[in-house]
Structure 1
Amino acid sequence: MTAEPLERFLDRPAQLKEPERTLLPRLPDATPLILRTARGDDLPELCRLDKEVFQEVAYPEFLLRQMYDMYADHLLVLDDGTGRLRGYVLAGTTRLDRGSWILGLCVIQDQRRNGLGRELMVEVLDRLRGCGIEQVRLTVEPANRAAILLYRGLGFVPEEPDGGLRRDYFGPGMDRLVLRLDLTPAG
Structure 2
Amino acid sequence: MSAPAHAATVILIRPIQEADISEFYRVLSDVCRERKYLAALEPPPFEGTERFIKTNVQKDHPQFLAFVDGELAGWCDAIPGDVSSGNAHIGRLGMGVAKPFRRQGLGAKLMHAVLDKARTKGLLKIELSVYASNIPAIALYQRFGFEEEGRRIRSRFVDGHYDDVIMMGLFLDT
Note if 1:176 corresponds to 2:165.
yes
Figure out how many residues of one structure are paired with residues of the other and give that number: 152
Percent of aligned pairs with the same amino acid: 27
Contact 2:13 2:64 in 1 (8 A): yes
Note if 1:90 corresponds to 2:77.
yes
Query: How far apart are residue 174 of structure 1 and its match?
Result: 5.7
What are the within-5 Å matches in structure 2 for residues 99-110 of structure 1? 99-102=90-93, 104-110=94-100
Q: Which of 1 and 2 has higher RCO (CA within 8 Å, sep 6+)? A: 2
Amino acid at match of 1:110: P
Q: Distance in 2 between matches of 1:131 and 1:171?
A: 36
Show structure 1 runs of 5+ residues with no match. Answer: 1-27
Give the alignment's Cα RMSD to 1 decimal.
Answer: 2.2
Contact 2:133 2:163 in 1 (8 A): no
> Greater share of strand residues, 1 or 2?
2
Amino acid at match of 1:176: V
Per the normalisation by structure 1, the TM-score is: 0.72
Q: Which runs of 4+ in 1 moved over 3 A?
A: 167-175
Among 117, 125, 141, the residue aligned to 2:115: 125
Amino acid at match of 2:95: L
What are the within-5 Å matches in structure 2 for residues 1-187 of structure 1? 29-55=7-33, 56=35, 57-60=41-44, 61-72=46-57, 73=60, 74-80=62-68, 82=70, 84-94=71-81, 96=83, 97=87, 98-102=89-93, 104-159=94-149, 164-167=150-153, 169=155, 173=162, 175-184=164-173
Query: How far apart are residue 111 of structure 1 and its match?
Result: 1.9
Per the normalisation by structure 2, the TM-score is: 0.77
Show structure 2 runs of 5+ residues with no match. Answer: 1-5, 36-40
